[in-house]
Amino acid sequence: MASKTAIIAVVVVAVLVVAGVGAFLLMNGGGSNHDYDNVESKLMVRGNANGDYTIDKQDLTIIEDIIDGKLIGGNYPLADANNDGVVNDKDKSLVKDIIDRKDGITVYVVCNDVNGKDTTVEVKYPLRNVVPYGTNMQMPCLFANGGKYVVGYFVHSYEVAEKSISAAAVDLKGTQRTITDAAWANFTALDASLASKGGVGALLVDHSGIAQITEQRKADLDAAGIPMIDYSSADATDELTTVLTLGFLFGGDCEKIGLNYAKTGWDVKEKIESTLKKVDLAKKTYICGTMYIYICGASSSFNTSATTAGGLAYASVNADFAAKYTKNSTKMAST
């Protein structure tokens, strides 16, 4: 049976490999010979009728078969490419444009609403002039090589990684935890300054920070016609889908890089699962820390990173520990 040291090593390697995927792909231009048929991440764009990693002729065939009555549309929810509730020639036409990667079209992106439920937002393709909120969304944006399309940001945390952000991008003066009223005013002013370029293309939000998007701020977004793309991107698995989808929306080399990132991440996940399959679960407990002196609670999305690497959260086997660390992050204390 594997030793604790070996298990810890596997988990650490898994986290490091996944964290380094974006940098590796950026430095290597996204080149890869991956077999993408095994990518489990679903591209969250309507028109992806077969629910795989891209939109291509296979999706068009499904839509045509639904229109002809050969397939049941309800079995293919993303076949409704324009989100109007029916699958017809309009969806067929839109998917043809998506397959051609036609500039200026409107695509329909499935993501979270403010309550964490599925919703669909309209986005111009290719996506440009984005503003990410929170490190957990900013990094997936960069992993897809989208830094050149960032026009503003609320916080910066990783100086080296963020070198790929456009030098013209505006620091909106937010913090890791808060979008102040002043920072939000900076955001709306940025949108106004980009009016000749269509304004801010999208606000990208990690769902763990959704409390900062108040009803009034959501109303501001709606009034300005700024779509909010919200994913639970702090989750290690959901991050792969986030990078895949953002890469597709950015288009060009970003699409390929996002796809390679997702595939590499799933390869790592499968390797970890196969390596640890025979190890007693009780020997794989972990405590997840963040920001140097904080412990992640059971509900923290950071905890899922180690779970993805094959671990078992210590809070799930120690009730006293779970009772002490109930928040997403709590300052360390003697237990």
Which tens digits make up the pLDDT trace of 197-240?
999 999 999 998 999 999 999 999 999 999 999 999 988 889 99
Q: Taking the model in full, what pTM does it have?
A: 0.82
**pLDDT tens sequence across 152-182:** 999 988 888 899 999 999 999 998 889 999 9
* The pairing of beta strand 289-290 with beta strand 202-206: unpaired
Name which of 175, 22, 168, 44 is nearest 108 in CA terms.
44
Q: How far apart are the first and last CA of the chain?
A: 29
- Give 286 or 335, the one with higher predicted confidence: 286
3-state secondary structure of 20: helix
Q: Are 66 and 90 in contact (CB under 8 A)?
A: no
Name which of 132, 120, 164, 125 is nearest 23 in CA terms.
164
Structure tokens at 5: 């040291």
pLDDT (mean) for 140-152: 97
Which of 18-27, 56-65, 134-143, 249-258 comes out lowest in average pLDDT?
18-27
**pLDDT tens sequence across 101-136:** 999 999 999 999 999 999 999 999 999 999 999 889
Can you name the residues that pair with 120 across neighbouring β-strands? 110
**What are the Cα distances from residue 151, in Å, to 32, 34, 175, 193, 260?**
29, 32, 17, 11, 25
Q: Are 132 and 204 in contact (CB under 8 A)?
A: yes
At 72, is the pLDDT very low, low, confident or very high (cuts 50, 70, 90)?
A: very high
DSSP-assigned letters across all residues of 204-270: EEEGGGGGGS-HHHHHHHHHHT--EEEE-TTSHHHHHHHHHHHHHHH-THHHHHHHHHHHHHHHHHH
The answer to whether residue 34 scores a pLDDT higher than 80 is no
The answer to whether residue 324 scores a pLDDT higher than 70 is yes
Q: Give the model's pLDDT for residue 25.
A: 37
- Domain boundaries of the chain, sorted by first residue: 13-269, 280-331
Which of 15-29, 183-197, 229-243, 281-295 comes out lowest in average pLDDT?
15-29
**What are the Cα distances from residue 306, in Å, to 62, 267, 277, 302?**
38, 16, 15, 8
**Other CB atoms within 10 Å distance of the CB of residue 90:** 13
Q: How many Cα atoms within 13 Å fall on the side-chain side of residue 76?
A: 28
3-state secondary structure of 104: coil
At 335, is the pLDDT very low, low, confident or very high (cuts 50, 70, 90)?
A: low
**What are the Cα distances from residue 264, in Å, to 10, 82, 104, 235, 261?**
16, 31, 30, 16, 5
